[in-house]
A and B are shown apart, each in its own frame.
Chain A
Amino acid sequence: MGIYPPSLEKLIEQLSRLPGIGQKSATRVALYVLRSDRDLAEGLAASLLEVKEKIRFCSTCHNLTDDDPCAICRDGRRANGSICVVEGPGDQLALEASGIFKGRYHVLNGVLSPLDGIGPEDLTISHLLRRLEPEGIEEVILATNPTTAGQATASFLAGLLSERHPRITVTRIALGIPMGGDLKYMDQMTIEYALRTRLPVTP
């Protein structure tokens, strides 16, 4: 089927299985690897195996880490009574990069998605509940994405938390017009949300 020699076709096929990489990009990457020095291929292959061997999930927050528990879970200064719940390690990184949040995280490893057969049991929700008391959590910040699945997951967690831990404050990251956005290009739901959750301005 392929126009390239079998071994090259195989590499293209493997690469195109990666998220965000289509057939075209995979071909480009494969041809680049082929043209480069042997060092590149060896380094790449070694790193791929190394992450599989070394990187694991933190047994407390389920984030990716070299050591278990991860640096944030080990850091006593991060135990400030708040926990920020995110969908995946990428979301945790984005929040951490901002440097604003000083508490701890909990990675759900996905979102509720009945269409794909993913329910509450498939996420790290029960583990989140078990962390709350021992870590003296006073606020849970729900930072799942504002998509259908992310919103449904946040609603589900909010319900569960208010039922099981009524004293804990549950908050949701703000949704609405993004910084640098333009009202003319916003959909009606975003505008409705932005208006409903407007904040008083103090001069």
Chain B
Amino acid sequence: MTLHSSSAIIMRTWEFGESDLMVSFFTPKGGCLKGVAKGARKSRVRFANCLDLLCFTRLEYEQKKEDGLYFLHSGILIHAFPGLRADFSSLSLASYMIELTEILFPVGVAAERMFDLLQGALSALDEEKQIDSFRILFEAKAMTLGGYGIDLSRCCVCGRTYQGEGRALFRRGKGGIACLKCGQESERSPGLGPATVNALNAIQSTSWDTSQALGLSASMIREIKPVLKHHIEYRIGQRLKSAEFLSG
């Protein structure tokens, strides 16, 4: 059995057996994995404070027989994101990020860029409480990495290339935008100004740091928020539990 050593973000933990802990964690090479940390609830020496929710850790683990579970051998805490523990809305958004990741990248799907995104987003949220804009950045990027990027290049009805002339509207069934000749703005088809389309395009295609530096305006946030809400609801087909604690 090969021993793996990898950085990981702890997504969930459950008490298991008398003194064990079941842990689901996200790794760059293996995606979301599940493992058992034997005795982790009694002896904290091998896992000093590193198996807590949302901790960024370095774990050593090996695969158990065939059931897909791993045995966790030891771990070291790299960063605990204390800012997420100091504020309920930050914890709620971080939880939402975890939930969306779990759905887009189920057990065992490798996702190096998703790992970088999650880590970048949690670090940013740890330092700054920009709930609305970080939520948008994460949603747009995670959906793109999960294969559900919004097509902003052309009108999804007439096929005309969108070059930033006038407003566009979002069509959730098509996962793209339409020009105003092909539809009307409505609650279900929210509209976007040219600058907002540009910004969303940049968010979908650049790194976290680059997008964070964009500095979304309040009006852009207002326009993008309903678009992503409709898009995620339509593609994912479920409401995330943690979304209840985020406004809007």
Contact B17 A24 (CB under 8 A): yes
Contact B76 A151 (CB under 8 A): no
Number of interface residues of A (CB under 8 A): 27
**Chain B residue at minimum C-beta to C-beta distance from A116:** B241
- A149 proximity list for chain B (CB < 8 A): 53, 91
- B178 proximity list for chain A (CB < 8 A): none
Contact A148 B85 (CB under 8 A): yes
Give the residues from 64 to 114 in chain B that come closer than 8 angstroms, CB to CB, to chain A.
76-77, 80, 82, 84-88, 91-92, 95-96, 98-99
Give the residues from 12 to 67 in chain B that come closer than 8 angstroms, CB to CB, to chain A.
12, 15-20, 44-45, 48-50, 52-55
Contact A114 B92 (CB under 8 A): yes
Top 6 A-B residue pairs of the complex, sorted by shortest distance between their CB atoms: A22-B17, A151-B85, A117-B241, A114-B95, A114-B242, A187-B49
Partner of B99, one of A24, A115, A155, A186: A115
CA distance A20 to B18 in the complex (A): 4
Interchain Cβ contacts under 8 Å between A and B, 27 examples? A20-B15, A20-B17, A22-B20, A25-B18, A112-B91, A114-B91, A114-B92, A114-B95, A114-B96, A115-B53, A115-B99, A115-B241, A116-B241, A119-B244, A120-B88, A147-B52, A148-B54, A149-B91, A151-B85, A152-B84, A152-B87, A185-B44, A186-B49, A187-B80, A188-B77, A189-B82, A190-B48
Number of interface residues of B (CB under 8 A): 35
Within 8 Å of chain B (Cβ to Cβ): is A21?
yes
Within 8 Å of chain A (Cβ to Cβ): is B234?
no
Partner of B12, one of A19, A115, A117, A147: A115
Main secondary structure of the interface of A (DSSP, over half): helix
Partner of A115, one of B50, B88, B95: B95
> Closest CB-CB distance, A17 to chain B, in whole Å?
13
CA distance A188 to B49 in the complex (A): 9
Within 8 Å of chain B (Cβ to Cβ): is A156?
yes
- The digit string for A114-142, where 1 denotes a CB below 8 A from any CB of B, is 11110110000000000000000000000
CA distance A133 to B15 in the complex (A): 38
- A190 proximity list for chain B (CB < 8 A): 48-49
Given A116-B241, A148-B55, A148-B84: 4 more A-B contacts, CB < 8 Å:
A20-B18, A152-B88, A155-B86, A189-B80
Contact B88 A148 (CB under 8 A): no
> Closest CB-CB distance, B107 to chain A, in whole Å?
16
List the interface of chain A (C-beta within 8 A of B).
19-22, 24-25, 112-117, 119-120, 147-149, 151-152, 155-156, 185-190
CA distance A113 to B99 in the complex (A): 12
Contact B245 A189 (CB under 8 A): no
Contact B91 A148 (CB under 8 A): yes
- A24 proximity list for chain B (CB < 8 A): 17
Contact A148 B241 (CB under 8 A): no
- B49 proximity list for chain A (CB < 8 A): 186-187, 189-190
CA distance A189 to B126 in the complex (A): 14
CA distance A128 to B48 in the complex (A): 33
- A25 proximity list for chain B (CB < 8 A): 17-18
Partner of B76, one of A117, A147, A187: A187
CA distance A156 to B91 in the complex (A): 11
CA distance A171 to B43 in the complex (A): 28
> Closest CB-CB distance, B131 to chain A, in whole Å?
12
CA distance A119 to B98 in the complex (A): 17
- B17 proximity list for chain A (CB < 8 A): 20-22, 24-25
- A152 proximity list for chain B (CB < 8 A): 84-88, 91
Contact B87 A155 (CB under 8 A): yes
- A113 proximity list for chain B (CB < 8 A): 95
**Chain A residue at minimum C-beta to C-beta distance from B16:** A22
- A147 proximity list for chain B (CB < 8 A): 52-53
CA distance A112 to B19 in the complex (A): 23
CA distance A152 to B88 in the complex (A): 6
